[in-house]
């Protein structure tokens, strides 16, 4: 067991205004999850269901209101940032909007090497080799070293974000919608990269997404989240058969067709125009 949560809860208090007091928002509601080393857990649900808050709790960016977080059997709930520091390289995150997580004034070279500088002592040469290795993993090269975030396309930014997350050779990689801005060709090669690393480095993933079409390919298990709660955790390969919740079925139902012939709605016919065309 790499990481585990027990009845993890996060409550935000919102000021409603003068005299009217505060309102509670339960973003994460008694969530118990297990992350087994070398496996991928998918976390699916609509926006606002608490997926991102949960991943921020795991990485230590937020403190839970109650419940426990265990790392390799040790309770790390509420540890100070100084105590957490040695753990940080082991748990890294790829953000949905990588660009927002970059310093706009730093070139790609510095963005990727910053974690290295923070945790390792490397000579300039070693560092450069490391950075180039990381960039080549995500199919970028030395031409990008001096570029600034705004000079990169969305897909390139996302890949730099992945390279940075891999810099410290983490054990657990939390990916929050990492591919939503990538086109299909890149998406496939990044999926292959994550899969290769999983085998090569025995990496563990928490894969946060609303795109269920990625789930069977990438995940071993899926946790379905709705309004802060994990409704159920099912094996990814048999999601349709194993799910007991209507909500999971609705999510599955919403995946668009993979071919024109399997269109979800029968009335979205391609036939009329096709036959019209042929004749």
Partner 1 sequence: MERGAMLRIRKLSVQFGSGEEAVEALKNVNLEVRSGTITALIGESGSGKSAAALSVFGLLDRSGRVTAGEVWLDDTDLLRLKPSELRKRRGKDMAMIFQDPVNALNPVLTIGRQMIETIRGHQRVSRQEARRIAVEQLARVGLPEPDKQLGRYPFQMSGGMCQRVMIALALVSGARLLIADEPTTALDVTIQAQILQELYRLSRQDGIGTLLITHDLSVVAEIADYVYVMKKGRIVETGHVLDIFERPGHEYTKQLMESRCLRVNPAKETAMRQGG
Task: Give which of 24, 27, 66, 23 is closest to 49, Cα–Cα.
Answer: 27
Please say which residue, 22 or 274, places its beta carbon nearer to partner 1.
Answer: 274
Task: Give which of 1, 208, 184 is closest to 94, Cα–Cα.
Answer: 208
Q: How far apart are CA 156 and CA 213, in angstroms?
A: 23
Please say which residue, 89 or 216, places its beta carbon nearer to partner 1.
Answer: 216
Residue 247 C-beta: closest distance to partner 1, Å: 10
Residue 188 contacts residue 136 (beta carbons within 8 Å): no
Please say which residue, 117 or 183, places its beta carbon nearer to partner 1.
Answer: 183
Residue 268 C-beta: closest distance to partner 1, Å: 5
Q: Which two tokens stand for residue 61?
A: 């960016």
Q: Which residues bind partner 1 (CB under 8 A)?
A: 46-48, 153-155, 180-188, 191-192, 195-196, 199-200, 210-214, 217-218, 250-251, 253-265, 268, 270, 273-274, 277
Residue 73 contacts residue 153 (beta carbons within 8 Å): no
Please say which residue, 48 or 78, places its beta carbon nearer to partner 1.
Answer: 48
Q: How many other β-carbons are positioned within 10 Å of the β-carbon of residue 74?
A: 10
Please say which residue, 77 or 226, places its beta carbon nearer to partner 1.
Answer: 226
Beta bridge partners of 233: 223
Residue 190 C-beta: closest distance to partner 1, Å: 10
Residue 27 contacts residue 45 (beta carbons within 8 Å): no
Please say which residue, 121 or 268, places its beta carbon nearer to partner 1.
Answer: 268
Residue 70 contacts residue 6 (beta carbons within 8 Å): yes
Please say which residue, 125 or 143, places its beta carbon nearer to partner 1.
Answer: 143
DSSP H or E segment with residue 23:
strand 21-35
Q: How far apart are CA 131 and CA 88, in angstroms?
A: 19
Residue 203 C-beta: closest distance to partner 1, Å: 12
Query: How open is the CA angle 72-76-77, to the nearest 5 degrees?
Result: 135
Residue 43 contacts residue 223 (beta carbons within 8 Å): yes
Residue 217 C-beta: closest distance to partner 1, Å: 5
Residue 139 C-beta: closest distance to partner 1, Å: 13
Residue 71 C-beta: closest distance to partner 1, Å: 27
Q: For residue 267, what are the CA distances in angstroms to 148, 261, 264?
A: 48, 12, 9
Please say which residue, 82 or 268, places its beta carbon nearer to partner 1.
Answer: 268
**Parallel/antiparallel/unpaired status of strands 3-17 and 66-71:** antiparallel
Q: Which two tokens stand for residue 25?
A: 């928002």
Residue 89 C-beta: closest distance to partner 1, Å: 23
């Amino acid at each position: 067991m790499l990481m585990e949560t027990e009845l993890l809860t996060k409550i935000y208090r919102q000021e409603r205004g003068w005299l009217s007091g505060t309102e509670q928002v339960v973003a994460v509601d008694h969530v118990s999850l297990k992350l087994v080393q070398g496996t991928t857990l998918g976390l699916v649900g609509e926006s606002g269901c608490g997926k991102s808050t949960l991943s921020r709790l795991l990485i230590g960016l937020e403190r839970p209101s109650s419940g426990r977080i265990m790392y390799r059997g040790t309770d790390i709930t509420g540890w100070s940032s100084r105590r957490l520091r040695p753990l940080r390289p082991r748990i890294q995150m790829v953000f949905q909007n990588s660009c927002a997580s970059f310093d706009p004034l730093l070139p790609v070279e510095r963005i990727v090497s910053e974690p290295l500088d923070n945790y390792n002592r490397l000579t300039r040469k070693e560092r450069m080799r490391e950075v180039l290795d990381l960039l080549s993993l995500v199919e970028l090269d030395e031409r990008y070293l001096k570029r600034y975030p705004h000079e990169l396309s969305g897909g390139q930014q996302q890949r730099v974000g992945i390279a940075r997350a891999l810099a410290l050779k983490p054990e657990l990689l939390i990916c929050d919608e990492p591919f939503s801005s990538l086109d299909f060709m890149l998406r496939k090669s990044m999926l292959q990269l994550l899969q290769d690393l999983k085998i090569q480095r025995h990496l563990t993933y928490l894969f946060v997404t609303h795109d269920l079409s990625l789930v069977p390919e990438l995940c071993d298990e899926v946790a379905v989240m709705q309004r802060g709660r994990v409704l159920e955790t099912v094996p990814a390969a048999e999601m349709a058969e194993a799910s007991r919740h209507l909500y999971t079925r609705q999510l599955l139902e919403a995946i668009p067709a993979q071919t024109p012939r399997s269109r979800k709605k029968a009335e979205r016919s391609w036939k009329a125009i096709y036959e019209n065309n042929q004749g």
